[in-house]
Amino acid sequence: MTRIILPRHTAAALLAASLPALTLLSATPAAAQAAEHNLTANLTLASGYRYRGIMQTDRRPAIQGGFDYSHASGFYLGNWNSSISWLGDSNGQVSAPIEMDIYAGFRNPFGAGGKWSYDVGVLQYYYPGDYPGGFTRPHTTEAYAGIGYGPVSLKVSYAPTNLFGLADSRHSWYADLSANVPLEVWGLTLNSHVGFQKVQVANASYVDWKLGLTRDLGNGFALAVAYVDTNADRTVYTNAKGRYMGGGTAWASLTKTF
């Protein structure tokens, strides 16, 4: 039986309670736009790590964090990291407890009133660790392009490499439709998302979805809660411990941005 687990990226999803780069299309605050150079850091404690709906920490909490640099031209460069267990959960000979993401791209508003936005870039997922001989390395490269209008964004990611250690999975892709709508009450934002992961392997493609809320607590803190689910095939997305990785779950996180 084939067992695979697909992880996640992006510092932006720390606040959006979803999957890496959802808020990259959001408008940048005016104060940040006024600065030619902007550098921020973030630290998150989460009840678990879900990437594109798939469990990454085997029902255990995750610690996450990273750094983001942006330039007034629209160029950005960032790093995001998370504790993981999915590699070891799938193969006991693997010791790789950390995901490290490095990404760079351009994002800018355009059109009348700046309501439209675009975001294009490249993301490298890297998993330092020890692997047995013959093991397909999980390191993955994705190129992405997105367009947004107000709080709604559509983004497509394409992997020219194998996808997260799955042999013969080159040219897989992911489509992500998201909306992060400020509710103007109690500092809440409604986070909704649906995505389709196309994997170039039989029975491995699936749909994931999410509905949640993020609350701005002030002083750089944000609390997020969500419900996440998928229709991923159980015969594919079950780890070596016999746990289904794509089942529906409640999720929560607390993020501090510096």
| 248 within a domain of the structure (yes/no) | yes
Which pLDDT tens digit goes with each residue over 12-51? Answer: 343 433 334 333 344 444 444 568 999 999 999 999 999 9
Number of independent structural domains in the chain: 1
Select the more confidently predicted residue: 134 or 252.
252
Q: How far apart are CA 142 and CA 55, in angstroms?
A: 20
**Residues 175-205: b if buried by 16+ CB within 10 A, e if exposed:** ebebbbeeeeeeeebebbbebebebbeeebb
Residue carrying the six token digits 């902007």: 38
Any domain includes 2: no
Element (H, E) at 77: strand 75-83
Q: Note down the domain range covering 151.
A: 13-257
Residue 1 domain flag:
no
In a domain, 5, yes or no: no
In a domain, 223, yes or no: yes
pLDDT digits (tens, 9 = 90+) for 190-200: 999 999 999 99
Query: What's the pLDDT band for 3 if we cut at 50, 70, 90?
Result: very low
Task: Summarize pLDDT for 74-97 with one digit per residue, the tens.
Answer: 999 999 999 999 999 989 899 999
Residue 202 pLDDT class (50, 70, 90 cuts): very high
For residue 126, the domain's CATH number is: 2.40.160.40
7 within domain boundaries: no
H-helix or E-strand containing 227? strand 221-230
Percentage of the chain lying above the pLDDT 90 cut: 83
pLDDT of residue 112: 86
Report the pLDDT value the prediction gives residue 113, as an integer from 0 to 100.
Answer: 86
Does the structure show a pLDDT above 80 at 238?
yes
pTM of the model: 0.88
Q: Using CA atoms, how far apart are residues 1 and 144, in angstroms rounded to an integer?
A: 31
Confidence of residue 164 (pLDDT cuts 50, 70, 90): very high
The reply to whether 8 falls in a domain is no
pLDDT of amino acid 34: 61
For residue 56, the number of C-alpha atoms closer than 13 Å in the C-beta half-sphere is 28
Mean pLDDT of 57-83: 98
Q: What is the mean pLDDT of residues 212-238?
A: 97
Which residue did the predictor score with more confidence, 112 or 230?
Answer: 230
Residue 6 belongs to some domain of the structure? no
Q: What is the mean pLDDT of residues 235-257?
A: 96
pLDDT of res. 26: 40
Residue 132 predicted with pLDDT over 50: yes
pLDDT at 15: 40
pLDDT in tens, 96-119: 999 999 999 999 999 988 899 999
